[in-house]
Structure formats: C-alpha cells, structure tokens
Amino acid sequence: MLFIMKKIPFHYNKLLTGLLLVAAMAPSCKRLIDIPANPPTQITEAQQFADSATTMTAIAGIYSYPTGSSYGSFTFNNGYLSLYTGLSGDELLPASSGAADDLQFYSNSVTVFNGILNSLWSDPYRGLYPVNAALKDITASSGLSASLKKQLTGEMKVVRALYYFYLVNLFGDVPLVTSTDYNATAMIPRTSIDSIYGQILTDLTDAQQALPKDYPSTGRVRPNLYTVDAFLSKVYLYRQEWQKAYDAASTVIGSGEYALEPDLNNVFLDGSQEAIWQLPANSQNGATTEALHFLPNYGSPAKYLMTPALLSAFESGDIRLQKWAMQTVVNVGGTNQTLYNPYKYKNINESAPTVEDFMIFRLGELYLIRAEAAAQLGNMTTALADLNAVRVRAGLGASTASSQADVLSAIQHERQTELFTEWGSRWLDLKRTGTMNAVLGVAKPGWKATDSLYPVPYPQIQADNLLTQNPGYN
C-alpha cells in the first residue's frame, strides 16, 4: 500500500514545484484562489508554508483539476470512480470488446494485477500526501495568521475525508495514513471500516467548527460550512444515522444558498445554483474527464453505453433521459438501433461556449438524502415532498408511493435515475442498502457476493507485507 509513499518520494521542494506549475498552467486555478503575482517557481521545505503567498499557491495545487500534474492535483478527477463502478454495477457496458482491464470490471472478474484497480487505490493515497503535508506545515507555520490557519486546516480535512470516504467504500478496511513520515507509514496494516469512518467524522466535525458559511474564494471550489454539512449528511446516511443525516441535509436545503436548476442542461455548468462543491474543469486534454470517457470524440463512437437496466429505469416523459443521455442510431444487420451514452458533461473541448465544472456535491442529491432519512424516521410527508422536488424537475408527476417500504423503494429508484454515473452512487447504493446481491446476481452472470469489494492491488501487497487481501481474491 505504501507503494505510493515509499516508491514516489514527495520531497517538499519537488512537491511545491509541481503545485506551482499546476497553478501557473491552469487558468481556472486563478478563479479558485487569489494567487499572488509572480509566485516563486521553487522553494525549500522551510519556505513552503512560510507566508500566505506560498501557502495559497500550494493549496491551489491541491484543488487543481488538470490530470497531467504528478504532484498535488485533485486525484479523483480522472473519471475512473464513475466509470469503473458503473461497469461493475448495472449502469454501463463497453461498446465494443474493450480493453482487458475494462472487461474485468464489467464481468466482475477484477484481478489483483488490474492496472485501473491499482489507480483506484493509489491515486487517493497520492492525493493524501500533500493534504497531510499541508495540515502539518500549516499548523507549524509562524508566518500565517490564526484565522487563515483555521480556514485552511478545515478545508484540508474536508479533502482528506473525501479521499477516505471513497477508499473505504471501494475496498473496505484500508490503511489510515495521517502522517508524512515514511518510516512510520512504509509498513502499515489495514484499519477497520468503523475506524476509518471515525476519522472521517472527526475531520468533518473539526471542519464544521472551522469553516464559515461564505465561500472563501470565487465560485464554489473551496469548501464552506454547507459543504461540510452536505458531506456529513451523506456520511450519516451511509452509517444509517437517520436523524443526523436528516438534520445535516436540512441545514443545507434550508440555507437559501442553493436551488435546483430548472434546466437540466445547466446543472453541471460553472456557476450552477445547484452546486455545493465543484472544481473548475479544464484538463490538459479537454474539459472534464467524464466527457472524455463517455462521449464520442476524435471521430470515434462512444466507448461506453448505458445498460438496458439503466435505460428501463427511466419513466416515460423523464427529461433526464433526453438531456443527460446522448442518443445514437446505428444500423445493425439492416435494423436501426438506438444506443445511449451518458451526457451529463457535454464539453469535449475546453474551449466550448459553455463552461462546465466538475461536480462533487449538489443539491439534487441532498433532497434525496433527506427524503431517505425522513422515510426511515417515519416522516412520509417530508420524504415525499423532497422526492417530488426532484421528480418535478425531471418532468415527472408526484410519486404515488404511500407506505414506508414503497417510499423507500421509490427514493432508491429516483437515486438511480438522478445520480447515474456520478461518483459511483449506484454501486454504493446497492451495497449500503443490502440489495447488491439480489440486483447484480440477476444482472451479472458469475456474480459473487465477494465482488462487492474490490481486491487490494498486488503492487500494494508487495510493497507492504502487513496488508491482507479481501475475501474472494487470491
């Protein structure tokens, strides 16, 4: 596991050089943080967090979206999480024979040697290093004000919690690393799911005390208090702490800061009033990597299609199928067939007329979180009101569900059609609700219950002999 930390030494001067280059190359970074004019191109460890100018440049690197930087850039930006959980579940299928790694995810036969699997594990740990370094050095700095230290520490704890939330949901027990000491982290065992969630909740409750309601920069790139509340509502939902999930979601929904975008085409744009947390998307190869994965490009057809199971989940008249799916008619053996691929992100080219941002949390999900928590608490009035807010925006009528079981089923159905190919929501929903085996056991030939967790990659076990493998894998 500590392959990343052991084999790729992030010396501080080299780390910040990369961060500064990212900030300099990406015009979007200037929107997320006020970067000082003429920042240095290379500084020593002692200087990295010595003053607000170098500190803010380093923080800009941690949030930066471009995929080409080896150091510090936001490592969930490669679209792998949405793509490969979609293939593992019932959302996506390869349009052709596909690459070997892709087919392993689609057939739920992922091996420990799968290269994409290794990225799903190692990329978050790569991203955690500069976050942990920032937390340590911001605290130790004598050149930063107490208020700036508080703000940035809160932000970095939100980012760290995000990395661990997805690590623990993809792999189960994972090593908990909060240090930058290679000697201490070179060999480290897996930490229990409950302990990882304990760290996530500690980081988020600390951030809740540190961050203000106002966003600290232009746009909604750096987390504010409502970002923390939105994240907490999701964590509490996964932990089945219904009242806490309900209360945290209510704080965000009732804040008046956010609203559902009436036009579905505007949801993922820069400046979306639905966005709670989004990064400027301006990668070195295009706009968002989701668009690059899912849309036809360079004259080639789409590589991944929506499954019949996902398509059949959309009710008649659901405009999400019209606006969030691209239709292509192909002739197969003299018969026309309509194929669909995800189309939430529409910009292949970064110079497109509309500017899309990479969405992390949005209000549509918060309504469905509160709806589920309310239903679990027996509050069907709020549950249906929140569910119907999402349905009406999709051009649908009010739900006819009435019993608690039917309302909960309707909410899960709505999550499937509202949140498809976003952050692995469908894959994780099937797992957390205990329905994965029933659904995928029918949809996926050869499905095994142990497929609900991915294996620990072979290079990580080779690097850290204290790591154990998940059940069902060799």
Q: SS in 3 state form for 116-173? A: HHHHHHHHHHHHHHHHHHHHHHHHHCCCCCHHHHHHHHHHHHHHHHHHHHHHHHHHCC
Q: 305: helix, coil or strand?
A: strand
- Examine residue 156 and state whether it is found in any structural domain, yes or no: yes
List the domain range (segments joined by +) for residue 225.
3-96+111-281+359-445
- Examine residue 170 and state whether it is found in any structural domain, yes or no: yes
pTM of structure? 0.90
- Examine residue 33 and state whether it is found in any structural domain, yes or no: yes
- Phi, then psi, of 300 in degrees rounded to 5: -100, 150
pLDDT of residue 284: 52
Cα–chain-centroid distance for residue 330?
33
- Examine residue 339 and state whether it is found in any structural domain, yes or no: no
- Examine residue 210 and state whether it is found in any structural domain, yes or no: yes
- Examine residue 466 and state whether it is found in any structural domain, yes or no: no
- Examine residue 142 and state whether it is found in any structural domain, yes or no: yes
Tally of domains in the chain: 1
Q: Which residues of the chain have pLDDT under 50?
A: 1-41, 67-72
pLDDT in tens, 41-61: 455 555 778 899 999 988 988
Tell me the DSSP string of 30-60.
Answer: HHHS-PPSS--S---HHHHTSSHHHHHHHHH
Please report how the helices 425-432 and 80-88 are oriented relative to each other, as an axis angle in degrees rounded to 10.
50
Over the range 169-180, which residues count as b (16 or more CB within 10 Å of their CB) and which as e? bbbbbbbbbebb
Single-letter code of the amino acid located at 171: F
| CATH number for the domain harbouring residue 204 | 1.25.40.390
What does DSSP say about strands 357-362 and 92-94: parallel, antiparallel, or unpaired?
A: unpaired
- Examine residue 218 and state whether it is found in any structural domain, yes or no: yes
